[in-house]
Structure 1
Amino acid sequence: MLTLFYHPLSSFCWKPLVALYDTQREFTPHPIDLTKPEDAALLESLWPMRQFPVLQDGATRIAESSIMIEHLDLNHPAQSRMLPADPQAALPIRLWDRFFDMNIQLVMQKIVDDALRPPERRDPVIVEQARDKLDRAYRVAERHLSGQGDWAAGAFSLADCAALPALFYAGAIHPFDDHPAMRAYFDRLVQRPSCARVLDEAKPWFRYFPFQDRIPARFMT
């Protein structure tokens, strides 16, 4: 039996949730609230880095969102895969998974982290550098997506699971309105049932996002 330890607001938790919903795999959701000492202790017992998500598959525990999606493909085959079986064909998907995580999601997180600091500890230089990196990433993504079909790397895949949280949160903080291919791609993402379900489940938690006032109204009602 699969159990996912996660938080509904966490961007990296959205990735396996999208994959699980999209492939209609059965699993037990186990939310973690780090404000509760018992939940924090549980998470540390599952993964000493105290980071979610963590996937429990029988006696096996898997950390890191990309790895757990690969684990699902290998050990719990579904009608559709998040990565092709052919390693060569999987490379572009791995690339764009890493691109959305490293160049958009983690860069956006620097702006969030700065907003969560006390005012006297905030650093406008870090924020400016992060916004510059997002602009560069947006240009790269726009160029790539302009030559693609509906999804980031062929069929809906691991790359798109990574793109949903990255573009949702980054778009609220640093909009990509002047990138039409990105806008169209994001609209396709949020309309996909698995992605829409993840966003709907996260909705009650958006009030804890420091830039909640910038989340488009269509996601708040």
Structure 2
Amino acid sequence: MLALYGHPFSAYTWKALIPLYANGTPFELREVGPDHPAHAEFVQAAHPGGKFPVLIDGDTTVIEATAIVEHLALHHPGPAPLIPADPAQATVVRMLDRVFDNYVMGSLMRAVNAYLADRDNPDPDDVRLGKSGLRRAYEWLEAWLGANSLPAHVSLVTCAAAPSLFYADWVEPIPAECPRLAAFRAELLALPPVVRCVDDARPYRHLFPPGAPDRD
């Protein structure tokens, strides 16, 4: 059986959980936290930055959430088309994966990290730059969605977009000027694998440094 090291409140853990849930792949979630020091020690040894998620598949260790999704698509395929068979469509999926990781997740984490550094007095420049980065990413995605069609769910795009948009909207709400993106977020949050991630993370919402809104 596969083993996934991560945490239910972690966005990148969600990214690995969504394809596992979507394809009904048997696995064990090994929570990384104070109550499981051995799991944290394993992650520190397995990843060059000591970060999760980490997937164990027999004798194979896979780090980084995108690589985990690619590994699952190759070695544990199921009804969810994680990576399109068509190379051109696969390129688009991988492109959007980087957009969501680098510019949505990256921007929201700039703001969140400011609160992690000093919850009562976060660096205003980091918060401002994080939010402005999100607004710029929102505008780009809104335009892209207006001119292109997305692959069928659940793909690598879903795995990247669902957690990043879920938490990004908490930091900087998607504006009314981006109705396609708002609708896409709502569509993602209605998918059963994403619903499961959201529900399993509810007990940890108090840990969200800027404060979790009373919604979603």
Q: TM-score when scaled to structure 2?
A: 0.92
Distance 1:55 1:146, change over 3 A: same
1:188 equivalent to 2:213? Answer: no
C-alpha distance in structure 2 between counterparts of 1:172 and 1:186, whole Å: 12
Structure-2 residue corresponding to 1:145: 145
1:133 aligns to 2:133 (yes or no): yes
CA deviation vs aligned residue, 1:167-197 (integer Å, no higher than 9, x gap): 1111011001312111111111111111101
Shift of residue 91, structure 1, vs aligned partner = 0.4
Contact kept, 8 Å, 2:54 with 2:63, in 1: the verdict is: yes
1:202 paired residue number: 201
Residue 144 of structure 1 deviates from its aligned partner by 1.5
Conservation of the 8 A alpha-carbon contact between 2:205 and 2:212? no
Across the two proteins, how many residue pairs are aligned to each other? 214
Q: Within the alignment, does 1:155 sit opposite 2:133 as a pair? A: no
Cα shift at 1:67: 0.6
**CA displacement at 1:147 relative to structure 2:** 3.7
Tell me, yes or no, if the aligned pair for 2:119 and 2:209 is still in contact at 8 Å.
no
Runs of 4+ in 1 over 3 A off after TM superposition: 34-39, 119-122
- Residue 207 of structure 1: CA displacement? 1.1
Q: CA deviation at 1:213?
A: 3.7
- The code of the aligned residue for 2:160 comes to A
Q: Residues 121, 211 of structure 1: CA spacing in aligned structure 2 closer, same or farther, 3 A cutoff? A: closer
Partner of 2:99: 99
Query: Which string of whole-angstrom CA distances, capped at 9 and with x for unpartnered residues, describes residues 29-71 of structure 1?
Result: 1111057643331211222321000000000000010111110
**Identical counterparts, % of pairs:** 34
* Unaligned segments of structure 1, at least 5 residues: none
Which of 128-137 and 189-198 deviates more?
128-137
Q: Distance in 1 between matches of 2:116 and 2:10?
A: 15
Cα distance in 2, alignment partners of residues 79 and 110 from structure 1:
35
Normalising by structure 1, we get a TM-score of 0.90
Assess if the C-alpha contact under 8 Å between 1:148 and 1:154 holds in 2.
no
- One-letter amino acid of the counterpart of residue 200, structure 2: E
1:122, distance to aligned residue in structure 2 (A): 3.6
- For 1:119 and 1:200, the matched residues in 2 are separated by 25
Residue 117 of structure 1: CA displacement?
1.7
Which has the higher mean CA deviation after the structures are superposed, 114-123 or 12-21?
114-123
Unpaired stretches in structure 2, ≥5 consecutive residues: none
For 1:172, the equivalent position in structure 2 comes to 170
CA distance in 2, matches of 1:55, 1:213: 28
